[in-house]
Structure 1
Amino acid sequence: MHWTRSQAIPSPAIALSAALWSVVCAASVVPTECEVTTLSDVPLYAPDRVVFMLSRPHGAARTLAEPTSATVQQLASRHRLQRTSRILVGQPHSAGNDIYVGYLLSGADIPQVCEQLEADPAVEWAEPDYYYRCQRVPDDTYYASSGAWGQAYGDLWGLHAVNTQDAWDRTQGEGIVVAVIDTGVDYNHEDLYRDSNVNGRLDPNEQYNIWVNPGEDLNGNGLVDANDFNGKDDDGNGFVDDIRGWNFVGGNNNPIDDHGHGSHCAGIIAAVADNGKGIAGVAPRARVMAVKSLDSQGTGTATQLAAGINYAVNNGAHILSLSWGGGGQSNLIRTAIDRARSLNRVVVVAAGNDSLNAALWSPANIPGVLTVAALEPDLKRASFSNVGSVVDFSAPGVDVLSLRAAGTDMYGDGKRLVPTADPNARYYRADGTSMACPFVSGIAALLMELHPSLSETAVRRILAASASPADSAGAYIGEGIINAQASLDVVQYTSDVNAAITQPADDTEPFATDRTLDFVGIAQGDAYVLEVGHGYYPDTWVSIGQGDAIADGVLGSLD
């Protein structure tokens, strides 16, 4: 296996690795008997509906009013769809993609309906409404530790491992909104606000790390008051009284967490520091936008999750934290993420927990997202973590202490509560790439407070260039463990340069040794160098191309 790296060199001549891509299939790390999906008790997709996009002439654009209802009705009649509803991936009241949900009678053959739809000239693509689920690790006896919490490392080992303490002297994520699109958030948790006057409640002018929709905050006090709920869509975003986010499972304005997963992720990102309670988040002055797209079992459909992504983008989230995934390869999810990135949103996702190639897992395999693998307290790769060339970085993901949503127990055995065996415990331990993902989201928030104009691609380069070594245990888990302080130190050298290989695509099939392979991409800066090495983490690199900046062209060739 060969790897390439592309370096854009700014002035002065400082070379920073900006991209790392595989040129052969990384599937060799996946046992052939493994299935793409796991947890067989959870179906792969919804049994009563499909998602499809209407085709359009090349280069043509449609207004929001098009296509006509007659067109959609005729399509529904041809394919025995009981009814249809349009999904808008874009701003309300503006032209968007012609994407629809088609509802079927129970017992329909979903793959067959999708195949028939895709054969229809009026349809661009069709797919099941895939299920996705939160990426915590199941607490099976030999899969994750259990029992009393007598660990030999710090309670917040993950926070120290990513080197946040020194970074906090420069930035704490003030003014940055991170959307946690998940099972919801316990927005009343004691560690998401600063009780400065110690009266046991949140008051005006006290720090509150939950996003409050300014367009629905009628008195502008930054709190959620009874008077804010007036039954109107005051900000015109298509959602009534969504002052603290939205619940796409229940279809209402209460994104409360009834599972626990979303609150745990939110705490890793933005639990309040120095408030005399519990823990501290990576970005303890960032705000969490609560978007509930997963249900009380930690499962949601592509339509619910895409709606959550669209909501977060339209309502000003800078970073989207997605700690969920599945084997279904959804065009709908990809369309929503592509739009988010096109609007300069940083999208961070969990690599998945099946010890597989993350290229088989969505949204971890969607180009442009920041995919995160999990590490153990000794900074070795977690045995459950997905791996492979689509992984960008690693972060703590085993025995991570964070918030417990009121009344929840993700593992259902009472063994993860902190304090232990306390039914009223407000803190909880969990494992998974779900926990690793929000560490990266938090550091991205630290960067963006200091440098609000950073592009989402610059955030990736900075985190990659500043990562510290981690024990990969023989598999590729990205550039290493993220490092908050180091990322702040290198940002000045990487924000104005960019290097990316666009062809061959990641996970290209193996090719004959007598064939020349051209590497096509971009290199922004004063000059670039393209190097190739052997293995997951090459000890030596050989230059196969160099030159001045290239907007889009051949960077070098491998014979």
Structure 2
Amino acid sequence: MRLRFLAFLLLASGFGLSSASQEDSPRIGDPYFHSSGAWGQDFRDQWAFDAIGLSDPYVVWDALGESPSPVIVAVIDTGIDWNHLDLSWGSLWTNDNEIIGNGIDDDGNGYVDDRIGWDFLAGTNQPWDYDGHGTFTSGLIAAEVNNGIGMTGLNPYARIMVLKAVNNFGRTRTAYVTDAIRYAVDNGARVINLSLGGPSALELETAALDYAAQNDVLVVVAAGNEGQDLADYAFVNHPAVITVAAIGRNGERSTYSNWGPQVSIAAPGEDILSLRARATDTLMNITDAYKPGSAIVGPDKRYYRATGTSFAAPFVTGGASLLWSRNPSLTANQVRQALLQSAKDIGASGVDQFTGHGALDIGAAFAADPNASIVAEISSVHVVQSTDGPAAEIIGTATSDRLEIYRVEIGQGETPSSWKPVAQGRSSVTNAALATVSASEFAGASVWTIRLIVNRTGGTSQVTLYRLSLG
């Protein structure tokens, strides 16, 4: 099955001089963190830091403690420009059990001289980036901090495991990606970033994602840029992954961002600035409408701007790595819950199919209780035959570590003015029937909204909405 990476045509154009912002951290020494107008725009060059609750990253970095833990982050992509001035060798994972250059598989992992990762397409230990997408993605997570040039990465303690599974034209096959997932798990990654997508090859994907989940490795997946339902999309249909939609500077879902109950959270994905790999112009492979060179930023041409869910996902991946830098004993599920349950609700009230739990807020995730858990999800609705005739069976999950009650309600239209209770329960339900509602309850309208409310003892709750079209 052929997959592709998820960059997108830029939404703004032009270039210009930078000007300083006075509202961000004075302790950051990287110019693009403070400046605006690097490509002629009237907003900050690294505006996304404000959007994810890191206007001053040192608030979080100081909270990491005296000895933050390095965290291995696997980036499965087009490789990396290992010689970029704003990406230090210290930010790359190194396989200390491998003696580079001796032609021997010293650690017995099946890969010879795999010092910083692997190229799964060529079968070599040189995962170099000749497209640019992987370097861009890695830079968002781990660009060098306070080196006095360029941009700021999210986590100074992230260590990028470079796994090249996408070719120089942004294409790949499911088998390359699943092999890379297994490599990441076997070699110590805590979190895997997948900024790629396409048609699903469910059996292969499920086996690899199960393997990651069983070994306590978190997988973060970009939602994709087609503005369509995610039902048959690659790598998103697994309960343990985090699927990331894109939002713009207005805090609203980007119209190109795919949607569905698989969406977990949203993060900035429009006009994102990051690293440019040498001699690359990534967007030339995306569309003929792109003017060559127009996305290249800076007089040294070492930076790039782009739009897409590909670049929303690394913010979530970076946020996960920060939580592990503070507390390496957290489980993948605890990190997942901290990120999702601290997200800022945007769009429709509660968890929805467009932005999931809401917008990523890393600052709030640091304050969240990693042991608290509330899950309210509606995955599908099926027509079944009940004793009273046709009915809608609502499938989903209603759980909590301290479940008080869950309620299922329905309302007419996309924004109901009133709600009718149809079911409730006090026992957890996981990917099973939450309610069976007689078809007669849906008379009078062609569009209905189903609302699931899960209450946790102590007053916290989670709400999710599901749009149902009849016809």
TM-score w.r.t. the length of structure 2 is 0.77
d(CA) in 2 for partners of 1:523 and 1:472?
21
Alignment correspondent of 1:246: 118
1:381 and 2:214 equivalent?
no
Which residue is 1:169 aligned to? 62
Q: Which one-letter code corresponds to 2:14 in the other structure?
A: G
Say yes or no: does 1:445 pair with 2:321: yes
Count residues with an aligned counterpart.
394
Equivalent position to 2:167, from 295, 311, 315: 295
Residue 459 of structure 1: how far off its partner (Å):
2.2
Residue 433 (structure 1) aligns with: 309
Q: Is the contact between residue 379 and residue 395 of structure 2 (CA under 8 Å) also seen in structure 1?
A: no
Q: CA deviation at 1:328?
A: 3.5
- The answer to whether the Cα contact below 8 Å between 2:409 and 2:423 also exists between their aligned partners in 1 is no
Q: Which has the higher contact order (CA 8 A, sep 6+)?
A: 1
Alpha-carbon distance in structure 2 between the residues aligned to 1:540 and 1:168: 45
2:362 pairs with 1:484: yes
Q: Aligned runs of 1:491-530 on 2, under 5 Å?
A: 492=369, 494-495=370-371, 497=373, 499=375, 506-509=379-382, 515=391, 517=393, 523=399, 525-530=401-406
* Pairwise CA distance, 1:214: 1.5
Match of 1:414 among 275, 293, 296: 293
Q: 1:368 deviation in Å?
A: 2.2
Between the aligned partners of 1:342 and 1:538, the Cα distance in structure 2 is 40
Report whether the alignment pairs 1:260 with 2:132.
yes
Q: CA deviation at 1:448?
A: 1.7
Give yes or no for contact 1:153–1:377 (8 Å, CA) kept in 2.
no
User: What amino acid is aligned across from residue 489 of structure 1 in structure 2?
Assistant: A
Counterpart in 2 of 1:209? 91
Alignment of 1:527-538 (within 5 A): 527-534=403-410
From 191, 199, 215, the equivalent of 1:319 is 191
Q: How much does 1:495 deviate?
A: 1.7
Residue type of the partner of 2:2?
Answer: Y
Call closer, same or farther: CA 1:295–1:518 in 2, change over 3 Å.
closer
Q: Which digits, 9 at most, give the CA deviation of each residue in 1:129-169, with x for residues without a partner?
A: x0111000145xxxx33333221211001122101222222
Deviation at 1:306, TM superposition (A): 1.1
Structure 1 partner of 2:48: 158
Change (3 A) 1:283 1:538: farther
Kept in 2, the 8 Å contact 1:324–1:350? The answer is: yes
Q: Which runs of 5+ in 2 are unaligned?
A: 16-38, 285-291, 438-471
Matched, 1:365 2:241: no
Instruction: After TM superposition, give the deviation of residue 301 of structure 1 in Å.
Output: 0.8
1:147 correspondence with 2:14: yes
Instruction: Name the CA distance, whole Å, in 1 between partners of 2:161 and 2:220.
Output: 15
User: Match for residue 134 of structure 1?
Assistant: 5
Query: 1:112 aligns to what?
Result: none
1:281 has 2:281 as partner? no
Q: Which residue identity does 1:132 align to in structure 2?
A: L
Q: Which has the larger radius of gyration?
A: 1
Q: In the alignment, which residue of structure 2 is the partner of 1:309?
A: 181
2:93 and 2:116 in contact (8 A); partners too? yes
Distance, in Å, in 2 between the alignment partners of 1:432 and 1:295 is 18
Q: How far 1:259 sits from its partner (Å)?
A: 0.5
Give the 3-state SS of the residue equivalent to 2:178 in structure 1: helix
Shift of 1:238: 0.7
| Pair 1:543–1:158, CA change in 2 (3 A) | farther
Secondary structure in structure 2 of the residue aligned to 1:289:
strand
CA distance in 1 between partners of 2:173 and 2:46 (Å) = 33
Offset at 1:406? 1.3
Structure 2 distance, partners of 1:234, 1:364, is: 35
Which consecutive aligned stretches of 4+ in structure 1 deviate over 6 angstroms post-superposition?
472-475, 535-541, 551-555
Q: Deviations over 1:271-302 (max 9, x none)?
A: 12112121112222211100000011111111
Q: Confirm or deny: 8 A CA contact 2:409 2:422 kept in the other structure.
A: no
- Structure 1 residues 518, 533: closer, same or farther in 2, change over 3 A? closer
Residues in 2 aligned to 1:466 and 1:212: alpha-carbon distance in whole angstroms: 33
Aligned-residue Cα RMSD (Å) equals 2.9
Alpha carbons 1:320, 1:441 under 8 Å: kept: yes
Return 5+ residue gaps in structure 1 as ranges. 1-129, 194-201, 203-207, 219-227
Q: Distance in 2 between matches of 1:428 and 1:553?
A: 42
Query: 1:449 is paired with a residue of what secondary structure?
Result: helix
Q: CA deviation at 1:250?
A: 1.1
Distance in 1 between residues matched to 2:434 and 2:192, nearest whole Å: 34
- 2: distance between equivalents of 1:158 and 1:539? 35
- Equivalent-residue separation in structure 2 for 1:556 and 1:337 (angstroms): 26
Residues 547/470 of structure 1: CA separation in 2 closer, same or farther (3 Å cut): closer
Does the aligned pair in 2 maintain the 1:533–1:539 contact within 8 Å? no
Q: Which one-letter code corresponds to 2:357 in the other structure?
A: E
Matched, 1:183 2:56: no
Partner Cα separation in structure 1 for residue 251 and residue 430 of structure 2: 38
**Do the aligned partners of 2:76 and 2:180 also contact (CA within 8 Å) in 1?**
yes
- Tell me which residue corresponds to 2:142: 270
> Which amino acid is the alignment partner of residue 50 of structure 2?
H
Identity %: 36
* Contact 1:545–1:555, Cα closer than 8 Å, also in 2: no
CA deviations over 1:447-482 (Å, ceiling 9, x no partner) = 122232322222222212111133479962211110
- SS of corresponding position for 1:507: strand
The one-letter code matched in structure 2 to 1:527 is: L
**How far, CA to CA, are the matches of 2:9 and 2:322 in structure 1?**
31
For normalisation by structure 1, the TM-score amounts to 0.65
Is this contact kept in 2: 1:374–1:382, CA < 8 A? yes
SS of 1:192's equivalent in the other structure is coil
